[in-house]
Structure 1
Amino acid sequence: MNDGGQRTFGPLGRVLVIIPTYNEAENIRPIVARVRSAVPEAHILIADDNSPDGTGKIGDELASGDESVRVLHRQGKEGLGAAYLAGFRWGIENGYGVLVEMDADGSHQPEELPRLLTALKSADVVLGSRWIPGGRVVNWPKYREFISRGGSTYSRLLLDVPIRDVTGGYRAFRKETLLGLGMDEVASQGYCFQVDLAWRAVKAGFHVVEVPITFVERERGDSKMSQNIVFEAFWRVGAWGVGSRVNRISGRRHN
């Protein structure tokens, strides 16, 4: 991980919290209210994948009464990665300097966002981490913790990234960082999307910082976690790791 050295970091600029949604009608009002309370100056973009339960309509109602809330209506369920990438592009095009990833279900506590933003003043990317001292999970079954810890360890070892929580999804990026990650080349989803962005940031030499968070299991609605998401992360990360090692070996042979 780049330690930042003696770099000088510029001002953060306007903050946009991107909240991807699919069938989060029970959760979207509370999470928007908590974000507005925790960081009143931040704006919110609800990226809704045409939720059948009317989440997008609720988002429109919130936006009609609060100019700090916007809704990005997408045509269908295309996955977490695609929703975030669309949100990043929208935010960059509309002049935001900081783009934040946040789940709609309350597992990422908005009350901890000020800590991430403070850390971003001297970093390029800040990751909310469950697996560093001070971080923890609440109300998670053991198998979920095993998958998450195992996924982070697997990714860290295969990709040689010094990040403890590689799969976490509570993150704050500077605009310039996202522009330097090659977003047009990202096609991964779920856990794998988060691993992909973290790995790209490390490879590009950006200063990546982890801050501890408390991750709280959702109380309402259904988790979007599936076997397909876990399998995608397993094989993609494996392929990236092998490819990276082959490239390094081939480079040595040609030197």
Structure 2
Amino acid sequence: MTATAGPLRDTVALVTGASSGIGAATARALAAQGAAVALLGRRRERLEELAGELRGEGGTASVVAADITDRSRAAEAVEAVVSELGRLDTVVNNAGTMGVGPVEDSPLDEWERMIEINVRGLLYVTHAALPHLLRAAESSPRGVADLVNISSTAGRVARPGTAVYNLTKFGVNGFTEALRQEVVRKRVRVSVVEPGTVDTELSSHLRDGAREAVERQVEGLELLRPEDIADAVSYIVTRDRRVAVNEILVRASDQTW
């Protein structure tokens, strides 16, 4: 399939946290379905590299380097995408971070960073994007627009050592469902994808001690790949407008939690 021939042709998709991992894989998947893809993240060099790859395959890609934890910059980033590409049909809120460790000795800075990225960043992008998604749903030949939030199995299962990460992801799940009900009759589909253990950079950002604990927990598991989650996102947003896939839980096949 060429980059312009898929079911998302003539649509525009925005992916946050697009510089690596699930975000980069999702951008590739949506471009392969024909969408023009806006890549949002903080690492411009990586975003430019991915954009060059997508353009080389015949796709349309835009780079917006911004920190979405800044409310005004998040809003400006969304407006920049619409200004450059003309519309906004799909948003994938993928940007996120993880911190682990017992509550009693976890650094407060780590908690604040999770809340800033996993919750505030997602809210800021959603708030800025929603009016454009509502307009796209009215004007698109597909008759629908999509907002997909990337959560986690940690949004379903609370475990010792992940209390604040659980807080953020349970919050994402609750927000997603409430917003879905608000806009369901306006043809904006709101969905959540909950990945299990995925082979990404996420654990590499953990502090010493916490990183080793996570590595021990997943030792022996065959981890999911970012492309596995991108497949789930692609499935959601390419359904006919009569179909809404509200939630997809994707675990590694031998993951128990």
Same fold, judged at TM 0.5 (above) = no
- Structure with the larger helix share: 2
Q: Which TM-score applies when normalising by structure 2?
A: 0.39
User: Per chain length, whose mean CA-contact separation is higher, i.e. which structure has more relative contact order (CA < 8 Å, sep 6+)?
Assistant: 1
